[in-house]
Structure 1
Amino acid sequence: MFKRSFAASREKAGKARKISKRSFRDDTKQRMREALNDATPNSSPSLGGSSPKLNSAIVTIAVGKDQRLFAAHEDVLSRSPWFAEVCREQFFASPGQRRITLPDEEPEVFSAVLEYMYKGDYYPRLLHDRKRNTYALEDVEADLTMQSISPQLDSGKKSGGLSDHAVVYHHGVGDYVLRDTVIYCSALRFGLADLQRLALRKQGLQSGIDVATILRSARFAYANTPPSDSRLRAHYLALIIRSRKTFKRSGTMQMEMEKGGQFFFDLFVAMANHIDDVGEQGQVSPSHYLLY
């Protein structure tokens, strides 16, 4: 019996091991994912570095026009100043009757917000390669060095076909908008500043977004952020200036500009400032930007 076992082991040892063909990008992402998985759950710095108390009262949240139901612990919801105030107003309600209604929120977006409040991130998670100081989205095939949205001309295809995580159908808009933009605006409403920063960084890693979706999302951002909150607005202005050749060829851009609004006035100011800055550096004459 021992002899047979020894022979079998020799045969296994003699077999050539097949080398897995993995790209450098796959290996890098795997290391980033393993580092993220090694972190202690519910210990994100954005959530105060402590796990939530899961023995607090359960609150029911009805979201969207179809009133989709979510359940969450009161202590977790109270990480948000907005939810903390609502929970205080329902302090004397019996545990089974504590209910919050959010008719203007999208269930897919609120699900991401709730996931963040429990875990410190939402799917797809943000992966950080500390050695190269680059970021990537979990399970998303994208260039690890990409730091900003890559727009493309309208293809006529349904925007929702881009990817399940990049866009979300918003009933208030009646069309698809960038999911991270909606999450940013919800985070602003609920007082989750760290979630705002996270959503903005994730949105910068998206690619292949059509011009119509970008402009629609920019209008949504302007409609759901105050003038004092300039980060998301500035993100869209910088994106259009940086990718002006693509937007210049877009018929959608022309139609949107005819509608006007604060967004396009800000774009004009930002574009003028950009031309002035470039002109002062002596890199190009302002007349170079004239449209013929």
Structure 2
Amino acid sequence: MVDPEVDVETGQDEEMIEVEATEEAANGDEPTGLEDIEPEVPERTTFLDYLRSPIVQLVLGTGANKEILSAHQALLTQSPFFTSAVTSLNDANRRIDLSSDDLHATASVLEFLYKGDYFPTLEAGNSLAYDPTVASPDDEGVALLRHARVYTLAQRFGLPTLAQMAHKKIHLTQSTAKGEIAYARFVYKETSPDDENIRKPVAAFWATRSHVLRHEAEKEFKRMCLEFPQFGFDVLSLVLDAQEKRSRREEVQSSGTASGRKRQRVSSAIVPPGVGLK
């Protein structure tokens, strides 16, 4: 009996096809079933991307004091204020009017947007870099006012991280009684009455040190209270609150129990003898 012929070449071709199919699947040409669980990597905005964006000019001051600062649009639009402002710009006019804003404070805002900090920068150990432009003692409150102006602009431009940084630098700044009054005047003039984040520490500072600072800057303190009655009321309220707490502690220590002050009763005992209803 003759054995059947076997097509050896055909068998080898089938094996090669199977191997190639396996390799293609391994190389990702076919679905692996892992696509749904692979995380999506978000695109990272690089500093180069910022520098490639269009230039926007910021106009500050008027007349002879007019200054023009330039910045990249992609950096500016980290601020909601500038995001809204650039929508009205076109190729013929790429300027934003900031004529009523402080030049140096605006420059500090731009420095923060580019570098993540502004001068004087925060140093290790919660201190500020030395600033040779500030006199010592700082009776004019130059350093405090610098950070206060940055704080108000950060609030207006919608930059909470910058506002927190400026607020921290305020607390790290050394000043004098007169400098503190200059700072308090700016705060009560330029900030919202609801902004307790910056107003309350100012009132607390004067409430806890008024017995000393008032004599170092008595005229300035009096002028401040007359110009901003809310400042005087805030300071007085904190002084009275502290006095009330001190009185309660003294009562507890003397009696051993906490009791409220009782209001004197009105009785016939205080009516002069012989006086009555007719």
Q: Which TM bucket (shorter chain)? A: 0.5 to 0.7
- Normalized per residue, which structure has more strand? 1
Which position in structure 2 is the counterpart of 1:71? 70
* Contact 1:53/1:75, CA 8 A, preserved across alignment: yes
1:233 corresponds to which of 185, 193, 199: 199
SS at match of 2:114: helix
TM value normalised by structure 1: 0.62
* Contact 1:62/1:102, CA 8 A, preserved across alignment: yes
* Contact 2:185/2:224, CA 8 A, preserved across alignment: no
* Contact 2:56/2:71, CA 8 A, preserved across alignment: yes
Structure with higher RCO (Cα < 8 A, 6+ apart): 1
Structure 1 residues 253 and 163: CA distance shift in structure 2, 3 A = closer
Q: Distance in 2 between matches of 1:237 and 1:187?
A: 22
Which position in structure 1 is the counterpart of 2:119? 123
Counterpart check, 1:258 vs 2:226: yes
Counterpart check, 1:107 vs 2:103: yes
Q: Distance in 2 between matches of 1:186 and 1:264?
A: 26
Q: Distance in 1 between matches of 2:45 and 2:205?
A: 34
Which position in structure 1 is the counterpart of 2:86? 87
Amino acid at match of 2:57: T
Counterpart check, 1:181 vs 2:178: no
SS at match of 1:70: strand
CA deviation string 1:119-172 (max 9, x = no partner) = 11001111233xxxxx0012359xxxxxxxxxxxxxxxxx963489x955xxxx
Q: Distance in 2 between matches of 1:57 and 1:73?
A: 6
CA deviation string 1:65-95 (max 9, x = no partner) = 42211000111111111111101122xx10x
Alpha-carbon distance, 1:257 to partner? 2.2
Q: Distance in 2 between matches of 1:284 and 1:110?
A: 54
Q: Distance in 1 between matches of 2:130 and 2:223?
A: 36
Range moving further from structure 2, 248-257 or 80-89: 248-257
Which position in structure 2 is the counterpart of 1:56? 53
Alpha-carbon distance, 1:222 to partner? 1.9
Amino acid at match of 2:239: M
Q: Distance in 1 between matches of 2:128 and 2:121?
A: 6
Structure 2 spans left out of the alignment, 5+ residues: 1-43, 254-278
Taking only aligned residues, the RMSD between alpha carbons, in angstroms, comes to 3.1
Amino acid at match of 1:183: V
Q: Distance in 2 between matches of 1:56 and 1:121?
A: 21
Q: Please tell me whether Structure 1 or Structure 2 has the larger radius of gyration of its CA atoms.
A: 2
CA deviation string 1:261-291 (max 9, x = no partner) = 2222222222222323343444999xxxxxx
Structure 1 spans left out of the alignment, 5+ residues: 1-47, 130-134, 142-158, 169-175, 286-292
Amino acid at match of 1:206: T
Structure 1 residues 278 and 75: CA distance shift in structure 2, 3 A = farther
* Contact 1:211/1:253, CA 8 A, preserved across alignment: no
Q: Distance in 2 between matches of 1:203 and 1:189?
A: 18
Q: Distance in 1 between matches of 2:252 and 2:136?
A: 36
- Normalized per residue, which structure has more helix? 2
Matched residue pairs, number? 204
1:98 corresponds to which of 81, 94, 97: 94
Which position in structure 2 is the counterpart of 1:139? 130
TM value normalised by structure 2: 0.65
* Contact 1:83/1:190, CA 8 A, preserved across alignment: yes
Amino acid at match of 1:274: A
Structure 1 residues 74 and 248: CA distance shift in structure 2, 3 A = same
* Contact 2:144/2:170, CA 8 A, preserved across alignment: no
Which position in structure 1 is the counterpart of 2:170? 203
Structure 1 residues 121 and 177: CA distance shift in structure 2, 3 A = closer
CA deviation string 1:165-191 (max 9, x = no partner) = x955xxxxxxx9621111111111111
Which position in structure 2 is the counterpart of 1:144? none
